[in-house]
Amino acid sequence: MNKQEPIVNTGKKSLLNWTEHMDAAFVDAMVQQQEKGNRPYGNFTSQAYANMVEEINTKLTMNLTKSHLKNRLKTLKSTFSQWYDMFNGISLSGFSWNADTQLIEADEEVWDNLIKSKPDAVALKTKKVAHFEQMLIMNAVGDVVNAMREGNKIFERAYHHELTGDEIYQELQPMGLEVHEISGALMYLARNQANARTLFTCPMNIRKDILKTMMGAGK
């Protein structure tokens, strides 16, 4: 079978026309590579891109290249940033993403409070965003890496002390972990204090995924 890919002919050059199905496969592949530790310092490794190219081409019977993925990632980040920048700082408090409608939802009172401080947010009430949770996880990891790389002084001053076992346990309890998972996570974070401080400054709704990514990369 010949490999096919949707192409738009512009008259000057042929451009790849990404579909929602292709985006879904790409986002899933990125999350998998991140969980495997193939995104150190917030950037995917060459091997990660090679793995994603192979996986997506096999799954969708296509002929994508590394350049296709890099260009699409820039577009996805740009689109996602519209939402992330708007909600950044409130940790999505009171908001949730509905996978069926692909809308960010909240009570009217919550929306009204946000719109009062950020009038542009009104446009996002009815604007769909696909793969929001997966992109939020990847974006949060990237932000953490950048903060660590730049040596965020405020972060260091606020969280310079070594966390006790009880402090770590109290933070882990509301994350929805199984009992046996809590003990393993506590031991890991006690040995990796920098990761513990990073984890406990992330939004609560993504901490479990961040923890799994950290522990997976540390194996």
* Domain edges within the chain: 7-132, 151-217
What pLDDT shows up at residue 139? 65
What pLDDT shows up at residue 45? 92
CA distance 66 to 72: 10
What pLDDT shows up at residue 96? 74
DSSP H stretches of helix in the chain: 20-35, 46-60, 66-87, 108-117, 132-149, 153-158, 165-172, 179-191, 193-199, 207-217
pLDDT tens per residue across span 85-127:
666 545 456 777 777 888 878 888 888 888 888 888 888 888 8
Place of tokens 């939402």: 83
List b or e across 146-181, with b for residues whose CB sees 16 or more CB atoms inside 10 angstroms: eebeeeeeebeeebeeebeeeebbebbeebebeeeb
Start-to-end C-alpha separation, the chain: 40
Residue spans of the chain under pLDDT 70? 1-15, 82, 84-93, 136-137, 139-161, 217-219
Query: Which residue, among 92, 74, 194, 70, has the nearest Cα to 140 in the 3D structure?
Result: 92
What pLDDT shows up at residue 48? 93
